[in-house]
Every structure is written in structure tokens, then in C-alpha cells.
Amino acid sequence: MAIEVKDHLFSLSTNNSLYQMKIDEYGVLNHTWYGAKTSMDMSYIEDYPEISFSANLWDTERSRLYSLNDRLLEYPGGGISDFRLPALSVSVRDGSCALDLRYHSYEVTDNKYELSGLPASFEGKGKVQTLKITMKDTVYDIYVDLLYGVFEEENIITRAVIIRNLTFFPLRIHKVMSACLDLPDNEYEVIHFHGRHAMERMMERTSVDHGAFSIGSRRGQSSHQHNPGLILARKNTTEVSGDAYGMLLVYSGSFLAEVEKDQLDQLRAAIGLGTEHFEWTVLPGEKFTAPEAILSFTEAGLGQLSRQYHEFIREHVIRSEFVHKKRPILINNWEATYFDFDGKKLLEIAETAHDLGIDLFVLDDGWFGNRHDDDSSLGDWMVNEEKLRMPLKQLVDRIHAMDMQFGIWIEPEMISEKSNLHHEHPEWVLRSPNRYPARSRYQLVLDMANPEVIDHLENVFAHLIEENGIDYIKWDMNRSISDFYSPSLSPVQQGEMLHRYMLGVYDLADRLTSRFPDVLFEGCAGGGGRFDAGMLHYFPQYWCSDDTDAHNRCFIQYGTSFFYPISATGSHVSAVPNHQSGRVTSLRTRAVVAMAGTFGYELDLSALDEKEKEEVIRQIADYRRKQELICEGDYYRLTDPNTQNVCAWSFVSKDKRKVLVQAVVFEHRPNAKKPHVVLQGLEENGWYRRKADGKLFSGNALMKAGIFLPNELGTDMGYQIEFERIEKKESITMN
């Protein structure tokens, strides 16, 4: 059984990990172990000496040996003798903030819990058990349900929290973490993923010093600046060995992740909703549900931790029927035309794309209202037939007649001041009373906390899809939220606005993706600003970054890969000089990098010369042949581009028969050895034939000594090397 309860000990087992909690003599739920799998009660390693200036529970009377401030706790409340970061902070009617949670009851069920109104993992194939531990405050009827979903085969434990108010007065929540993890020592470093627009998810590894380390977003979205996940890794942990813990929040709004090293050199890590501009009132008889967090542990290094997350997100987070389908190779007109197009120009691009073998034409921004630049018409989702010089349906039909699919860009959450919608419904805009709203990209934000707005948007976009036969939707969001006030909420509810906004986004995404399951949705937020597990629940792929420069994408896609599968990563070949960096890279290199994703093109194909078009035809055929391996195979990071001259990664089929190595050598270094990479994930005793020249290598040689890459002159040189395992050793020669 994945969940075992015996003698006040809760043991949650996966194939390779054990998570344990224990109720002590005072009813406090202690966290005793999360790590490598063992076969005993791990509370024997607890050591709590008397510590001066650590307050003691009232229950302990004259004893000074018991303090919550020193113990490893499962879900710490605030205000009762624990001076460390709390997981939950509330206040009651008299303004006091003390919360003393003690064990109340538990329940085990043979299915996965669900979270109303929020994206969450689901059971899928295989068996999942849920443990619900209910904690209760010692004074008030405040109940906290701790939910644990145990995915045994996947080495995943999910966490969620529900706060129930059974008092007769309102309860105010000031902070709620979805998961908290106390560890007994401090031999860890924090890995997190920071960035900015067009340079998202830059991996950073930092030591944990005394005090608190935190990342988060105050922007109303998970943001370009910080991704809602972190990894705790032993100092000696590498890609292929060592302990690593992952914590990933299934949420797309403002969040907070904290790590604290205490006076006993113990660590506390927690992740949940952002605390700034957050306060939620739970009325008597009501409850509040916090988002889900996904936890995973491995002894086998960062690469294995990533593969556990990749598989879990594919099988248990992304609910779209496209998750295992081969995605269409697309052409997006944005970098080819920006706002300057008509139907004739779009058809020229589509005709060329058809001739080259592309599956899907995507019409980006500028097709609606009076949209000739980015300062008007958001909210007016009526086709500008004068600009297109034809009805949209006619354009769609002509592209369908080419045996291509048609996709379109939308930005549901935004509104322009220069729009009919703003004129008709100024009350639908987020803005503080008596203040002018902050502009960003000359657009304002719709009040997604208002159910009327959600109803309106569903009707508008359902009509767009149904009337025109749309096959693909690119859902964008091009600014952060800065005016934290919803006209649809009362003054005392304004602290709820950001979370209610996100619930509204999820509601709309749920309605549209459920209503149109055959439409492929791709998420976008100024590129990868909201690339998270919450949005991936609804959208099976996400635009990785607005930076399409192949060199920069090596770093962006490297950081993205720590949590998110390649099959969810939108990546395109764009024009050179690159529109974001001005860099010139070869068409070959641009394709190599873009193939580590859903693959497509974002340039004017009709402007390519014949030699380039022939190369595009070969690239498309090449990707089709490799697509299943890329999207369904196991992914391995072979180098760290932050410290090496090579960014290399590989895909290995589940049966270890097929191997694809992709790499970019950043610069040629004169008078130096060839660039070199060591492979991973092969059958150690197997033999592999290199496709390019037929040479044979043993699996253990490739994983111990590796291979050389070419040493061509130039910068940002991209390569692909394929291997296939042979059935037997016939004609094997030493190379």
C-alpha cells in the first residue's frame, strides 16, 4: 500500500521515496522524514535539546524540552511558539493571529482528491491514493485539511490545503502555503529560475545561509521574473547523482516560495500563494482551497528529478487530448509581417508554407477591430475585413483548401482604452478609485474576477471559433497586473482580487477547452511569462519565450527543462538577423534548437531563396521522423551552458533503442580539442550504431567517455547526432 497508518505514524511510499509524519504526545503533527525509502519509523533521528529563548507550549507546563520552534513540523501555524516562517497565518474576530493546530482525524481513499475551481493533477492510468489529515485549532473551530496524493510509480506526492471555518464569525487568511517541508540538516543548495521578458527561467544555484531566502511574484501572474518552483539539492548533487527535492506549484498567479535556515541549521521550505495584496475572508460554514503543489524526491540527481516531473506533467497534469498527439508544424506570421498585412500577403505566406510541408498557419495580432498597432482595439474581437480585404471565414476556407489548419491569436484578459468595449463597460477594468490606471503596452486589464466578464469572453471566443472553423488558438497575456482593485468586489474583498482574477482565468480556460476539445490551445504571456503547471493543465503547449534567438534559447530552454516537458515547449525558427538580439545564426542551428520543442517557423517563408526552402523541406521531414522520440522520449541535459562552451541535450526512447543528441557549440576555439559530450540513459551493455557513419559504440563507453562534436569554424554551430541500438553484436569492431 502506498499509504500506511500505524501507531500515530503516517507513511507515504512511492517506488523510491518515503514521506513520514508522526503525531506526538501533544497532538502535534511532526514531519519525520522525506527522502530515500526505508523500512522503519524514522522518528528515531529526532534530536531536540533544550534551547534557550524557545517558547514552550502551555501543555508542557514546567518542562523546557518541548518547543515548536525547534521541531520539524508538517504544517506550522503562526503565533504559537514557532518563530520561523509559518505555513498558515489567520486572524479571528478579536484581531489575534494565533493558530495552534493539533491532530484531529484522518481518512485514506483509493482515488485522487480534486480541487474545486483550480487546476490539479488527476489520476490517469495507474492507482493513486489520497490521505487527508485534518488538523484543528485548540480554541476555535478552525479546521485545516492537509491533502496528500500519492503517485507510487511516478515518485510524486502532491499536496493541497483546505481551510474550513466552522466558527460563527468570519476568519481572515493572511498567508497560506500549499506545502511546507522541514528538513533536519542544511547541506542543501537552492536552485530556482529567475529572468525577465525574453530571457525567462535562467537557472541559478545558490547556498542556503542563515535567515530566509524567497522568490515570488507580485505581478498577478507567475511572471517572467520567477517561475513557481524550486529545487533543494545536496551540495554534491549533479545531473546524474545526489539527493534532490522538487517543489512545483500548480498555479499561475502571484506566488511565494521560501527557504529558511534556522538556529539549529534545519531547513524549512514552503510554497504557496503570494502574501502581498492577499487577504481572504472565510465566512462561517465556508472553506478556502489553496492551489496544489507537486513534490518529488530522487537520489539519482537533477536529471532524474526532471524526468519524474516531465512524465508526471504529461500523464497527470495536462488534460488535453493533444498531449500524446503529434503536434502540427506551424508557421506564425508575426515576425514576418507584424501588423502590416492583408489577406493577400497572408495567403502568399500560407501557399509557400504549404509547398514546404507545413501543417498549420497561425494569424497573429492585428486581425480585429481597428488594430494597426498595439495601442487600440483589444476587447473588440470583430474581424477587420477592410484590412484583410476579405471575410475571415474566406481566408480560413482558402487555407483549409490547401490542406492546412488555421490558427489565430487572441488576448482575452486585456482591453484597450481605444475600444468599443472600454466605452461600453469602463467598469470592467481593473483600476483603483480616484486614480488613473497604470498603462503597460498601452493596454489595461479586464476584471477577470467579475463573472460577467467571463461570460462575455466565452461567448465572444466561442463564436469566433465556431463561425470560422478555427483549429488552433494562441492565448496571450501581454502585461502584468499593477492596479489591484476590482470594481466588482466590495472594499473588504479587495485582498481577494488577485486570486479571484486567476480563478476567473481558469474558469474561462476550462470552459473554452472543454467546449472545443478538438482545438489546439497554446498559452503565451509575453512569451513565457506564465509558463507553469497551472496553465499547462488546460493548454498542452506554451510559447517558451518571445526571444527566438537560437543562442539565447539554449539558456531559456535549458532552465525550462528542469520542470517542464519538451512536448509542452513552443519553439520556432525565426528570421536573421534575429529581431530580439540582432544575432545571425545558421538556418541549421535555428532548426536544431527549435526542434527541442513543438517546432514551427516565424518568418516570411516567401522571402527565402530556393536553397533555404530546400533546407526547410528537409528540416520538416527530419522533425516529423524524430517527433515521437523528441516528445515522448526521456530527456537528458548533457552540459550546462552557463559554464561550458556547449549546450547539449539528448532524447532516449523508453526502450533505449533510439538516441538523438542535439548540441550547439557557442564558439570555435583555435588550437583546442574538439568539443566533447558524455551521453546518459543508454543500455550499459548494449551496442549503438551512429547513423552518420555506421560506427559502433558500447553503451557504457558512450556514458563514460562520450563523443566528440565537430570542430567547425564559426559561432553557434548546431549539430544532431543519432544512434540506434543494434540487436546483436554481429560485425562489431572496435573504433
Output the 3-class SS for 132-149.
Answer: EEEEEECCCCEEEEEEEE
Do 65 and 198 lie in one domain? The reply is yes
- Residue 601's pLDDT is 98
Burial class (CB in 10 A: 0-12, 13-18, 19+), 40: exposed
Specify if 137 maps to a domain: yes
Asked if residues 618 and 610 have their Cβ atoms less than 8 Å apart, the reply is no
pLDDT tens readout for residues 320-346: 999 999 999 999 999 999 999 999 999
532 among known catalytic residues: yes
b/e for 73-105, b at 16 or more Cβ within 10 A?
A: bbbbbbebbbebbbbbbbbbeeeeebbbbbbee
Q: Which of 522, 532, 547, 716 is catalytic?
A: 532
Query: How many whole angstroms separate alpha carbon 496 and alpha carbon 457?
Result: 22
Query: How many whole angstroms separate alpha carbon 439 and alpha carbon 417?
Result: 10
Amino acid at 183: L
Of 283, 316, 349, the position where a domain reaches its end is 316
The secondary structure element, H or E, covering residue 394 is: helix 392-401
Bridge partners of residue 517, in order along the sequence = none
- Residue 734's pLDDT is 45
Do 257 and 222 lie in one domain? The reply is yes
Query: How many whole angstroms separate alpha carbon 692 and alpha carbon 699?
Result: 17
Count of domains forming the chain: 3
Of 289, 316, 343, the position where a domain reaches its end is 316
Do 211 and 149 lie in one domain? The reply is yes
Nearest CA to 229 out of 188, 192, 272, 275 is that of: 192
Query: How many whole angstroms separate alpha carbon 80 and alpha carbon 120?
Result: 32
Q: Sign (positive/negative) of CA torsion 363, 369, 370, 371?
A: negative
Do 265 and 175 lie in one domain? The reply is yes
Do 271 and 126 lie in one domain? The reply is yes
Nearest CA to 277 out of 163, 430, 79, 161 is that of: 430
CATH code of the domain containing 130: 2.70.98.60
Do 278 and 381 lie in one domain? The reply is no
- Residue 343's pLDDT is 97
Asked if residues 570 and 542 have their Cβ atoms less than 8 Å apart, the reply is yes
Domain assignment of residue 303, given as a range: 3-316
Do 312 and 334 lie in one domain? The reply is no
Do 537 and 679 lie in one domain? The reply is no
**Pairing between strand 569-570 and 541-543?**
parallel
The secondary structure element, H or E, covering residue 421 is: helix 420-424
In a 3-state reduction of DSSP, which class is residue 295? strand
Q: Which cell is 534 given?
A: 497551472
Query: How many whole angstroms separate alpha carbon 704 and alpha carbon 299?
Result: 20
Q: Which of 185, 467, 612, 667 is catalytic?
A: 612
Specify if 323 maps to a domain: no
- Residue 690's pLDDT is 98
Bridge partners of residue 282, in order along the sequence = 171
b/e for 152-174, b at 16 or more Cβ within 10 A?
A: bebbbbbbbbbbbbebeeebbbb
Q: Which cell is 650 given?
A: 539528448
Of 252, 283, 316, the position where a domain reaches its end is 316
Chunked mean pLDDT (size 10), the chain, 735 residues = 94 98 96 96 88 86 87 92 94 94 97 97 92 97 98 98 98 98 94 98 96 97 98 97 98 98 95 96 98 98 98 98 97 96 96 98 97 96 97 98 98 97 98 93 96 98 98 97 96 97 98 98 97 98 98 98 98 96 98 98 94 98 98 98 98 98 96 95 97 97 97 96 85 47
Specify if 58 maps to a domain: yes
Do 387 and 527 lie in one domain? The reply is yes
Specify if 324 maps to a domain: no
The C-alpha cell 539558456 sits at 555
Query: How many whole angstroms separate alpha carbon 637 and alpha carbon 679?
Result: 9
Q: Which cell is 16 given?
A: 523510491
Q: What is the DSSP letter of 605?
A: G
Specify if 730 maps to a domain: no
Asked if residues 11 and 20 have their Cβ atoms less than 8 Å apart, the reply is yes
In a 3-state reduction of DSSP, which class is residue 364? coil
Burial class (CB in 10 A: 0-12, 13-18, 19+), 215: buried
Q: What is the mean pLDDT of the chain?
A: 96
Angle at 58 between CA 57 and CA 61, to 5 degrees: 105
Specify if 733 maps to a domain: no
Q: Which cell is 288 given?
A: 478556502
Specify if 248 maps to a domain: yes
CATH code of the domain containing 673: 2.60.40.1180
SS3 per residue for 506-567: HHHHHHHHHHCCCCEEEECECCECCCCHHHHCCCCEEECCCCCCHHHHHHHHHHHCCCCCHH
Query: How many whole angstroms separate alpha carbon 595 and alpha carbon 88?
Result: 43
Task: Provide the 10 A C-beta neighbour count for residue 725.
Answer: 18
The C-alpha cell 488613473 sits at 436
Query: How many whole angstroms separate alpha carbon 200 and alpha carbon 223?
Result: 9
Do 341 and 253 lie in one domain? The reply is no
Bridge partners of residue 309, in order along the sequence = none
Specify if 518 maps to a domain: yes
pLDDT tens readout for residues 42-101: 999 988 888 888 888 888 888 888 889 999 999 999 878 899 999 999 999 999 999 999
Q: Which cell is 471 given?
A: 483549429
Asked if residues 338 and 366 have their Cβ atoms less than 8 Å apart, the reply is yes
Do 266 and 357 lie in one domain? The reply is no
Do 15 and 126 lie in one domain? The reply is yes
Query: How many whole angstroms separate alpha carbon 65 and alpha carbon 48?
Result: 7
CATH code of the domain containing 449: 3.20.20.70
